[in-house]
Amino acid sequence: MKKAQMKIQEMAFVLLALVLLAIIGFIFFLKLSQNKLVESATDIKTQTTLSLLEKLANLPELECYCKPSCKANCMDKDKINSLKTMLQTNKNLESLFQGLSSLKVKQIYPPENEIVIYTSRTPSNASSYQTFINLCQYDTGRYTYDCNMAMIIAKGVS
């Protein structure tokens, strides 16, 4: 083999190595970008879910009165019990929970049994989502709310 041919071959190998290196680097970069993309997609999904849960907690049929002051993400225990009773007799009210297969509230501290507000007739295997709220009961003697930490748990239709 001539010297010039050797040189060309050497150059070709070096170029090949460089191209391979660049490809590996690019794949690595893509992998990193993909991870970031997945993470931001999860963040957006979480935010959407949380805002839906907050909307449910702030339904006029369930939220606390603005007495003595308005509270965000506050559910009135008496309103919940009333709505539960009304749901048993008036099936039209179920339209409030369209798109949900169940809605529950669970007091965390002090721990208490969960209150099932709504369950659809068709069971669902969809995942459930939850966020922290206040479960309050109006004290008619002191004209103020007694509140405890709770979670609102919603399950979508599959």
Which of 25, 70, 82, 157 touches other proteins (CB under 8 A)? 25
| Count of residues that interact with other proteins, criterion CB under 8 A | 34
With contact defined as beta carbons under 8 Å apart, do 73 and 135 qualify?
no
How far is residue 107's CA from residue 152's CA, in Å, rounded to a whole number? 9
* DSSP code at position 135: E
In whole angstroms, how close is the CB of 153 to other proteins at the nearest point? 9
Nearest alpha carbon to residue 119 among 153, 69, 70, 74: 153
Asked if 148 interacts with other proteins (CB under 8 A), we say: yes
Give the gyration radius of the chain's Cα atoms. 29
**Smaller CB separation from other proteins, 120 or 130:** 130
Binding status of residue 40 toward other proteins by CB under 8 A:
no
Chain position carrying tokens 């965000």: 72
**Distance, CA of 23 to CA of 21 (rounded, Å):** 5
Contact between 77 and 147 (Cβ < 8 Å): no
If the CB atoms of residues 62 and 133 are measured against other proteins, the closer one turns out to be 133
Which residues in 55-114 contact other proteins (CB under 8 A)? 71-74, 106, 108-109, 111
Stretch of residues binding other proteins (CB under 8 A), selected from 1-9, 79-87, 89-97, 138-146 = 138-146
Binding region for other proteins (CB under 8 A):
14, 21, 25, 28-29, 32, 42, 46-47, 50, 54, 71-74, 106, 108-109, 111, 128, 130-134, 142, 144-151
